Amino acid sequence: MSKPYVRFLFLGDPRTDRRLKNFIWLFTELGYMVELVNANPVTQDTEWKMDGIQVQNLRLTYSRGVRMFLQYKELLQRTLSNTEPCDILFACELYSLMAASSAKKSGKARRIFYDARELYTELPSVANNLLKKIFWKRWEQKGLRQTDLVIVTAPDDINALKEVHGFLPPQVIIRNLPRREVYNRTDYLRKKYFIPPEKKIFVYIGGLQKDRGLEKMISVMEVLKDLAVLVIIGSGALKDHLQNQVNSLELQNIVFLHPIIDSEKVIQVLSSADIGISLIEQHSKSYQLALPSKIFEYRLAGLPVISSSLKQVKDIFDKSKEIIFADPDNKSGVTEACRKALALPDSEEIRKKISEEAYNNYAFEKDAVELKNMLDSKFS
């Protein structure tokens, strides 16, 4: 009997996308043949490979905007029309869903799994633009009609999606969690930026974009520069703007912008910091429902966290002493939260305890059990 075949479809940068790699690992562990069809607008010249799976890297001539999404859809549809049928087409985000739907209709896939990472119609760039909202709602709705399983990243996302579309196929919750890693503190960031031992290290990892509280956090470092430094890890549209802000405030020795890190190295790098930052600004319903993966990464690395008062974060961590909540729109509130975090007791024992809790309770392997059971029964 031949192995079942799953084909992943992804528009994005696979180097840094932990969630994509987690699902690839899961299906590989389950004995599936795995293929990835990927288009990466960030590194068009990079032929990305991953051991043990087939990878097709699609080339885009547009790197952003509606033209890119439409070009990706057409290119992906053509590519899928020339492939062998698979058991599961796994659309890793909304932008791959329409092509997956067409492929299923033409007999190129038995089933579609859709990873609904966001409430796309309520993203800030969409929610206040009626035409965009209608466009993406129809796009998602057409794809959902062919979808066999929707994967969401947090419990409240299920009802939110049902409110948008009036229906939803069977669903499973798999939060955006790291896979298990044993705690192992490093001094990578301290050595890289020659940070003295008396200063604590705030760290942010993720996209450099609006509504992440990054500008506010940099401005707060003016006040805290004698006590701590800030390392911002990632890439995105705000990178040059953030560097200009750092330069204008003369914080070049206090705030450091670090390049992106392959997802496999993230926990190791974060463990060399002292406090994680996750200040999502709640300027849209999608962000209000956010359950950021970085919080769980910080925890696995043994770090306390400064977080926005996001509902689904508070549902989990409201009573945790190592999560300090702050309003990212309030500079004095963020400053006070940072001071509280700096005053927390810090020891290897405490760090190991934080990491152990994350290891046992907030790991991808644990959340993926329900999907594994569904694959063994309903989708076998």
Q: What is the pLDDT of residues 137-159, one digit of tens each?
A: 999 999 999 999 999 999 999 99
Mean pLDDT of the 120-129 span:
86
Residues 279, 367: one domain? Answer: no
Q: E-strand spans in 166-285? A: 171-173, 200-205, 228-233, 255-258, 275-278
Average pLDDT value for residue range 186-215 = 95
194 and 259, same domain (yes or no): yes
356: three-class secondary structure by DSSP: helix
Q: Does 253 map to a domain?
A: yes
Does 193 share its domain with 321? yes
Q: Are 171 and 152 in contact (CB under 8 A)?
A: yes
**Res 260 pLDDT > 80:** yes
Q: Is the pLDDT of residue 45 over 60?
A: no
pTM over 0.85: yes
The CA-CA-CA angle for residues 261, 190, 300, to 5°, reads 55
Claim to verify: residue 222 and residue 123 sit in the same structural domain? no
Phi, psi for 343 (deg, rounded to 5) = -85, -5
Q: What is the average pLDDT score of the chain?
A: 93
In a domain? residue 59 = yes
Q: For the stretch 285-318, what's the b/e string if a residue is b when 16 or more beta carbons lie within 10 angstroms of its beta carbon?
A: bbbbbbbbbbbbbbbbbbbbbbbbebebbeebbe
Note the pLDDT of residue 64. 83
pLDDT in tens, 68-115: 999 999 999 999 999 999 999 999 999 999 999 999 999 999 999 999
Domain count, the chain: 2
Give the total residue count for the chain: 380
pLDDT of res. 76: 96
Do 370 and 233 lie in one domain? The reply is no
Paired residues of 201 in beta bridges = 229
Domain that holds residue 205: 188-360
Beta-strand (E) ranges in 179-265?
A: 200-205, 228-233, 255-258
CATH number, domain of 49, equals 3.40.50.2000
- Residue 6: enclosing H or E segment and its boundaries? strand 5-11
pLDDT bracket for residue 44 (50, 70, 90): low
Eight-class DSSP state of 95: G
Does residue 233 contact residue 239 with C-beta atoms inside 8 Å? no
